[in-house]
Every structure is written in C-alpha cells, then in structure tokens.
Amino acid sequence: MKFIYVYIFQFVILFSTHSQTKISDILSDIPSHVEKRIEAIINDNNFSGVFYSGDVEYISSELDMSLYQVMELLRPLSRIYAKAPISNYMVGALCSGSSGNLYFGSNIEILGESLSFTLHAEQSAVVNAWSHGETNINFINVGGSPCGYCLQFLNELNHADSLIIINPQGKNYTISDLLTFPFGPKNLGIDGGLMSKNNNNLILENDSRERLVLAALNAANMSYAPYSKGYSGIAVMTEDGNIFQGYYAENAAFNPSISPIEFVLSSLNLSGKSFNQIKKVVLVEKRSSKSSQINTVKAVLNKIVPNVKLNVVYCHKVE
C-alpha cells in the first residue's frame, strides 16, 4: 500500500513539474513577475482557455507589447493543449473577441476514428470565444495562414469580412486575401451568421427539469444550422459535477461543420479536463432532422468513454 502512495506522489510531482517547465520554457524570455502571473492564470482551477481583457492589458503594458505581440507570445501555450494522437502535429491558435479577451484554441483528433472528426485549432479558438458569449472576433493568430479548410470555416462568421488574420512574419491578411474565390453562405441563399446571437425557439417534446437536459437544450438553442435545420446541442457532466456545453455549427461547404461533440470536447480540454472525466452526456436535437448528430456522438463516445451511454432528448421548433 505504502508503495502505491509513493508511486502516486512521485507521479504527481513528475507531472506537475513537467507541465510547469513547459510554460516557463516557453516564457523564458520575459521578466519573471509577468511569467508568474501568466502561469498563475493558466494553473488556476477555473481556467477555461481565456485570458480576460484586464490580464491582457497587464501583460501588454508590463512587456510594452502590442496586442499582436501578446497574441504571438501566448500562442505556444495554447498549443500545449493540442490532442493529436494520430498526426502528432500539435497546433495552437489564439483569437481575440470584441470584449478584449483572448481565447485559446488547439487541435483535437480522435484515436481510432475517421479523420473527419478532427477539430482544427482555429475552429477550437472560435468556438471557445463563442461559448464565452462573444459575438465577434477581431483577430486570429495561428502563426501564419490558416489551412484552406479553416479559411472556409472562418468564412462562415457573421463578420468574416472584418476578421484580421495575424501574420507574425509580415503583413496581416483578411480572409479574402487568402480565399480569393470564396464559396460561402450567400451561395446557398443565407446571410452568413456564425456567432450571431440567436435563439432557435426550441422546446423539449417532454418537459424536463434536469440540469443537464436544460443545458443541452440551451446549447441547441445557440446552435447554427441554417442549411439542414438540424439544430442540436450537447451537455456533458464531468466526475466533479461541472457541466460543459457544445453547440452545433454548420458551414456552407458542409464538411467544415462542427458537431456538438467536437465543440464540447474542445471546451473540456481547454479547461484542463481529460476526456475520461466525462460521466454523463445529453444530446438534444430535432426529431427526424435531415442531418442527425446521434451516430457521430456515439462513435466519438465509444472511442473516448465506451462505458458512458448517450441520452438523446428530442425537441421541436416553435415557429
């Protein structure tokens, strides 16, 4: 028994010093009081992948750095969160909301599943901002140009025209600089609107007071599904009783759409939780949607937490 305690103790020490070395290695060039402040923010139990505007201003003024420079300083820290068991290619991104907050994003791959389940770091940063109530992002930084798939994803934003893509090597870009002949919502007769404030007016088929069900309904009400109208949302409870939400987010080119399960895994991950802490999952969606999330969610859960059963709850739209 004693050996087990010693082993656990050593593991905790090893693990904590390991992750701390990483942060201080990345920030080795900045004064130690600022480095300590940044480490404290990230190691806080309530950290959810956000640097709030007050902290951003503090870092910027202490280091005499522009917002772009702060975003480049923090980008390698969001990369630490990447989960890329298939490619081992870790990507970190950062975006800034109109509130002045900065949001981490990191790529996620599901071992054993189709590559289509991959969430890119840029997508993760955008849904992180959205889940924290932002309706507009001004800047995104992934160290250069996002890939074609991400440009297509970003082109769905309600403010795609004004988004600035930071290029730490030189002149910044807009989406239209890099996506010269875009395909977007307008091609399908939709006025683009990912991240717009919306309520889909969904109500449950059978009333419920269960917190997790109501959180999933709320997520479905936040979802963006102008093409299939298959509004859906997910809520996950972790073993410590915390609840995380995932909204479904469609894209005009369909494939870069984000399933609610990918969204919620990203939120969990950026909050420092591991996937095996998931204890309960509720998916709310419209019955007989042209596009359903049920099989996708089950496939992902089967790979990460095979013992957790999916609870599907149906809703309908009040017209």
Q: Which of 146, 260 has the CB closer to ligand THU?
A: 146
Q: Which of 116, 307 has the CB closer to ligand THU?
A: 116
Site for ligand THU in 146-185 (CB under 6 A): 146-147, 150
Site string for ligand THU, 35-74 (x = CB under 6 A): ----------------------------------------
Pairing type for strands 278-286 and 232-238 reads antiparallel
Q: Which of 94, 150 has the CB closer to Zn ion?
A: 150
In the complex, the smallest distance separating the C-beta of residue 43 from Zn ion, rounded to whole angstroms, is: 29
Q: Is 150 in the site for Zn ion (CB under 5 A)?
A: yes
Choices 139-147, 166-174, 205-213, 216-224 (CB under 6 A): range interacting with ligand THU: 139-147
Partner interacting with residue 219 (select from ligand THU, Zn ion, none; CB below 5-8 Å by kind): none
Catalytic residue among 122, 134, 156, 262: 122
Q: Is 120 in the site for ligand THU (CB under 6 A)?
A: yes
Q: Is 125 in the site for ligand THU (CB under 6 A)?
A: no
Which residues are marked as active site?
122
